[in-house]
Amino acid sequence: PPSKLPQVGTSIFSVMSQLAQGHGAINLSQGFPDFSCPAELAELVGTYTRNGFNQYAPMTGVAKLRENISRKTELLYSVAPNPETEITITSGATEALFCAIAAVVRPGDEVLVIEPAYDSYVPAILLNGGQPVFIPLSFPDYKIDWNLVKSRITPKTRLLLLNSPHNPTGATLSTEDLASLSEIIRDTNIFLIGDEVYEHMVYDGQLHQSLLRRAELFSRSFIISSFGKTYHATGWKVGYCVAPPALTQEFRKIHQYLTFSTITPVQYALADYLENTEHYLNLPAFYEQKRNLFSHLMVSSRFEIIPSAGTYFQLAHYKDITDEPDVAFAKRLTQEIGVAAIPVSVFYHNQQDNKVLRFCFAKNEATLRQAAEKLCVL
């Protein structure tokens, strides 16, 4: 039968991680830490597993986890979503993204996608009959041009996807961005998805500008986060979606028949561990130090670092090293130099190549030092 996603191949994250493994390269490509989740959290998962918390969790998620997410949200963004009607636990942010898109996108609807874009967005839009409308970020500061966004809105625009802090660029939304967004969509029925999985990785004293901070934005938003990022446990695939009751109701109709529920013992463990505010309140300082170390080590290389305001990714321009296309360069770097990175062109629908690679700095200091040493020989 003809493919429903003819343009989709194997994700670059699998491709580069496999290539890194095959060549024994330091893997700064796929985003994941090379250090463990907090020991106490791992202990809690073990305890709940041993104590029989191994059957289906409630469809909407374990109550205590939803309650503690609400408390965290209130502490950070001064709004306390209702755990019963506004919070749903999902199997990773990826599932939440699919559910939110499926909940609102109908065949023929247009969905505004800011590029470079995380790779799961477009396939989810297409499978639901939507039409992606791309809005490029300006290069190299990767700011959103709100006039451009406004010019791409039509009567068919159903949804705008925002990702802040932004993968792969590390750009973050400012209060001015939120004000422009409010202004632009005020007289429309456009829904919003806020992919905020890196909400606890915002640097230089800035605050994360969640869509939850503005009532007029939250009233039409699905806000999505992931415990995989926050607790250094990307393999657990536990995330959540915060949305107003009417949107949550539609979201849960999809979630109920896509996965129904999410891994039980991990939810109980996260519920307990979330009461420790210290971990996520310290995360900006923890990662800022890694960002600073990596960019400092790269000063003596011929890569040009593009400042990262958030996420655990660092972009680097390599135009002074070679004019090879970024995919070819990323592969050669893995095979010959022993460091794997992600070519940024794969985040564009037309493979726009600005000669930029993405490095993940969620690594131990020794890993970052070894990688930078190798990159400095180029």
Residues that bind ligand PMP (CB under 6 A): 31, 92-94, 118, 163, 167, 195, 197, 226, 228, 234, 237, 239
- 284, interface contact from ligand PMP, ligand GLN, none, CB < 5-8 Å by kind: none
Query: Footprint of ligand GLN on residues 10-39 (CB under 6 A)?
Result: 11, 13, 30-31
Instruction: Give which of 115, 109, 122 is closest to 157, Cα–Cα.
Output: 109
Min. distance of Cβ 235 from ligand PMP in angstroms? Answer: 9
Whichever of 228 and 343 has its CB closer to ligand PMP, that residue is: 228
Q: Of 73, 167, 301, 345, which one interacts with ligand GLN (CB under 6 A)? A: 167
Tokens of 229: 């990022």
Return the DSSP state at 310. Answer: B
State how far Cα 194 lies from the chain centre.
10
CA distance 297 to 216: 43
Whichever of 261 and 301 has its CB closer to ligand PMP, that residue is: 261
CA distance 352 to 333: 20
**Could you give the angle at which helices 264-273 and 39-50 cross, rounded to 10 degrees?**
140
Whichever of 167 and 334 has its CB closer to ligand GLN, that residue is: 167
* Residue 348 in the binding site for ligand GLN (CB under 6 A): no
Min. distance of Cβ 260 from ligand PMP in angstroms? Answer: 17
Whichever of 157 and 167 has its CB closer to ligand GLN, that residue is: 167
Instruction: Give which of 14, 87, 94 is closest to 258, Cα–Cα.
Output: 94
CA distance 166 to 161: 11
Whichever of 93 and 149 has its CB closer to ligand GLN, that residue is: 93
- 117, interface contact from ligand PMP, ligand GLN, none, CB < 5-8 Å by kind: none
Whichever of 180 and 226 has its CB closer to ligand PMP, that residue is: 226
Min. distance of Cβ 116 from ligand PMP in angstroms? Answer: 11
CA distance 99 to 104: 9
* Residue 90 in the binding site for ligand GLN (CB under 6 A): no
- Give SS3 for 313: strand
Min. distance of Cβ 209 from ligand PMP in angstroms? Answer: 16
Q: Give the phi and the psi of residue 203 in degrees, each rounded to 5.
A: -115, 175
Min. distance of Cβ 50 from ligand PMP in angstroms? Answer: 25
CA distance 45 to 325: 44
* Residue 172 in the binding site for ligand GLN (CB under 6 A): no
Tokens of 273: 């561990």
Residue type, 199: E
Instruction: Provide the binding-site residues for ligand GLN, judged by CB under 6 A.
Output: 11, 13, 30-31, 167
